[in-house]
């Protein structure tokens, strides 16, 4: 069934660490015909440890989620947001990837999802050099969008929805913006004989390319970018031993270790991602 494009649900998730399929907060903004009708900020017990770097970014601690529902308890409450709507997120590969990974972790079926990524929307409409980055805080400043508490899930989801509306108003629609979400099947999850490096691995590289939009490999990363990259590496560690992932992982490890790449190394990383995705 085709999603109702008049019903938009913007989401953002925060995570307790960079290793596990887990979230500790989800922000939800529901809008119909351009008007926000409901917002929710929900803490979630991730049932896994918190890393200090994640706490330093979003400020959520184990004590904050002590009495919060876990994801299976929460899902019946929020599942309806994903039905008959377009899900909007900034770097949707991360947010939807986390939600579907958590669903899989608990054995909950993943529903059909139609989505729109505001990072991809921005990429189709102007070059990175126009505003210097595709990061949410940078684009919010450029479009005069209020972003009260960056890395609070509801604040980010609200800003994402406002950015979505601004991009449509200023640049118009693009038929490529809204599409079905297809979760990449990892080798460990695929039935025997079905995994193909020309499908799953290349899809992972495309997800990584989306994740690196707005990231400058030749400069020090901000904590949020470091966390997102580290999370991608942890989820796909089984790919690290084969070319070109062996070289890509070395570059990414350097970047999250506060060792910026040289200009030539940054170009080599872009080449590797471009040639295989």
86-141 confidence digits (pLDDT tens): 999 998 888 998 999 999 999 999 999 999 999 999 999 999 889 988 889 999 99
Total residue count of the chain as it appears in this document: 277
- What the block records as the tokens of 273 is 């991602």
How far is the C-alpha of 226 from the C-alpha of 57, rounded, in Å? 11
Q: Domain residue spans in the chain? A: 7-180, 197-276
For the chain, the average pLDDT equals: 87
20-65 confidence digits (pLDDT tens): 889 999 999 999 999 999 999 999 999 999 988 889 889 999 999 9
Answer CATH for 7-180 from 3.40.50.2300, 3.30.70.1140, 3.40.449.10, 3.30.420.10: 3.30.420.10
Taking a C-beta distance cutoff of 8 angstroms, is the pair 266, 218 a contact?
Answer: yes
pTM here?
0.75
Q: Which of 18, 25, 145, 162 is nearest to 88 (CA)?
A: 162
What average pLDDT does this structure show over 75-95? 94
How far is the C-alpha of 69 from the C-alpha of 45, rounded, in Å? 6
175, with CB counted inside 10 A (0-12, 13-18, 19+), is exposed
Please check the confidence at residue 201 and state whether its pLDDT lies above 80. Answer: no
Q: Among 67-76, 113-122, 157-166, 222-231, where is mean pLDDT lowest?
A: 222-231
């Amino acid at each position: 069934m085709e999603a109702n494009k008049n019903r938009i649900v913007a989401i953002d998730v925060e995570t307790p660490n960079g290793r596990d399929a887990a979230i500790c907060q989800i922000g939800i903004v529901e809008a119909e015909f351009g008007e926000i009708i409901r917002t929710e900020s929900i803490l979630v017990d991730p049932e896994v440890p918190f890393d200090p770097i994640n706490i330093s970014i979003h400020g959520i601690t184990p004590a904050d989620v002590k009495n919060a529902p876990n994801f299976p308890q929460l899902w019946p409450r929020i599942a309806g947001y994903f039905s008959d709507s377009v899900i909007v997120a900034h770097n949707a590969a991360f947010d939807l990837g986390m939600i579907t990974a958590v669903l899989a972790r608990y054995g909950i079926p993943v529903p059909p999802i139609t989505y729109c990524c505001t990072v991809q929307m921005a990429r189709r409409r102007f070059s990175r050099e126009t505003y210097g980055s595709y990061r949410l805080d940078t684009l919010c400043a450029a479009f005069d969008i209020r972003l009260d508490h960056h890395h609070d899930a509801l604040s980010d989801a609200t800003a994402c929805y406002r950015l979505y509306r601004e991009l449509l108003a200023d640049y118009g629609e693009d038929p490529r913006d809204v599409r079905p979400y297809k979760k990449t099947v990892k080798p460990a999850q695929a039935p025997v004989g079905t995994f193909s490096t020309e499908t799953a691995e290349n899809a992972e590289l495309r997800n990584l390319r989306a994740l690196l939009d707005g990231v400058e490999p030749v400069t020090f990363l901000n904590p949020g970018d470091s966390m997102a990259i580290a999370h991608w590496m942890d989820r796909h560690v089984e790919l690290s031993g084969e070319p070109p992932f062996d070289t890509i992982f070395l570059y990414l490890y350097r970047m999250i270790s506060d060792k910026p790449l040289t200009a030539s190394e940054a170009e080599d990383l872009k080449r590797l991602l471009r040639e295989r995705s």
